[in-house]
Structure formats: C-alpha cells, structure tokens
Amino acid sequence: GFTLALLFSFYIYKKYPLGEFFRVVLFMPKIISGVVFALLFKYIADDIFVKIMNDYLKVETELGMLANPDTQLSAVLFYNVWIGFGVNVLMFSGSMSGIDESIVESAQLDGTTLLQEFIYITIPMIWPTFVSFLVINITAIFTDQMHLHQLYGNSSDPKLATFGYYLYVQSSRGELIPTGTDPSFSVLSCMGLMLTAVMMPLTLGIRRLFNKYGPSTD
C-alpha cells in the first residue's frame, strides 16, 4: 500500500488523465466514517459478492469473501491497502507539488525519461516525507489491527489476528485480577512493553540509516 500510494501520488502530481478522480476515490475512505466504510465494504464483499456468484456467474456459494476462509485474507489485505491510501496520497502528492518546476523542465530538456525523473528527482525531493511515513509504518507493525475489529468485531478468525488485534481484543476482556483463561491487564502491559523494547531500537536504527544513506537533493 505504501508503494502503490507513492506511485499513484506521482501519477496525480503529473496531472495525467483521471488524476483528480483517483485522488477522490483513494481519499474517500478518510472522508467517510471508518465504521460506515467498513459496513459498506462488508456489504459489497459478502452480500453483493454472493449475489453475483449465484445469480450471474451461476456458481453456488453461501459464503462471502470475508466469510470464506480461502478469500478472507485477500479481502482484508485489499481493504487495508485501499483505506491506507488516503493520508499517504495526500501527503506525497502535496510534497511533490512543492518541487520546483524549473528543475523538472531542465531535466526533461536533457532527455530525462519519466522513470529517471521519478527516481532521481521526485524521490530525493520528497525524501523527508518518504522517511517519515516509512518510520510510521514500521512503528505500527505490532500495533496495527488491520481494521479487523471493524470487519469482524471480537470474533475474527485466529489465523487473521495481528498483534494489535490480539492485544485490543484481550484488553477488552481483561481484568485486573485474572479469573479465567484471558490474560490480565498486567500480562498485556508486559507484552506491550516487550514489543516496545523490540521496536524502539529497530525504528530509530532504520530512521538513522535512511536519513544517513538516503538520496541527496544535491
């Protein structure tokens, strides 16, 4: 999703046909309430999908894409990629719009191709924004629940559960003093601190490497 957002932003920045249409469609998940958008996606992926398969493609099925174990992971990944476009596209395209046009025009006069412009001009000029979003994505490895609670509530298939979703669900069931099989708040807090101990040096190290060895605008 991060890579696709960068490519779509470049397409919009270059003002190619349907660029503004893509901007609206990709930013739509951030305009509409997350709960409403999740309900809309569930309706399309389950009810409408089953209707199309049974009535039009003549393939008998009772399970939608989010309910079928064979397709639910693909459906969740697609939803997360789409809903993650909004802020990324907005920030990337905003950074690209600040690039001096004279630099691009000079490169084009020298015969620079579109790919070369993207790699050697656009990426270096938006590198601080790129690194910031990359670091944010890395920090969410253990906290992102991939919108599973919006799509499944507390009953997601364990095969789909991320660390973030597991901690969220368990904390909603947790107690100060454990009385059953669910972990207590103290155990969940300990898990969170352990994950933080792993992610903090990793995140700072990656940020340092990208800032030190990243492309220069010179």
Alpha helices in 14-140 (DSSP H): 19-31, 34-42, 49-51, 72-83, 85-97, 101-109, 114-117, 123-125, 127-139
The C-alpha atoms of residue 46 and residue 43 are separated, in whole angstroms, by 5
The C-alpha atoms of residue 189 and residue 198 are separated, in whole angstroms, by 14
pLDDT digit string (tens) for 200-215?
998 899 889 988 888 8
Q: Averaged over 14-21, what is the pLDDT? A: 84
Confidence label for 174 from pLDDT (cuts 50, 70 and 90): low
pLDDT digit string (tens) for 77-129?
999 888 888 788 888 888 888 888 888 888 888 888 989 999 888 999 999 88
Is this structure's pTM higher than 0.85? no
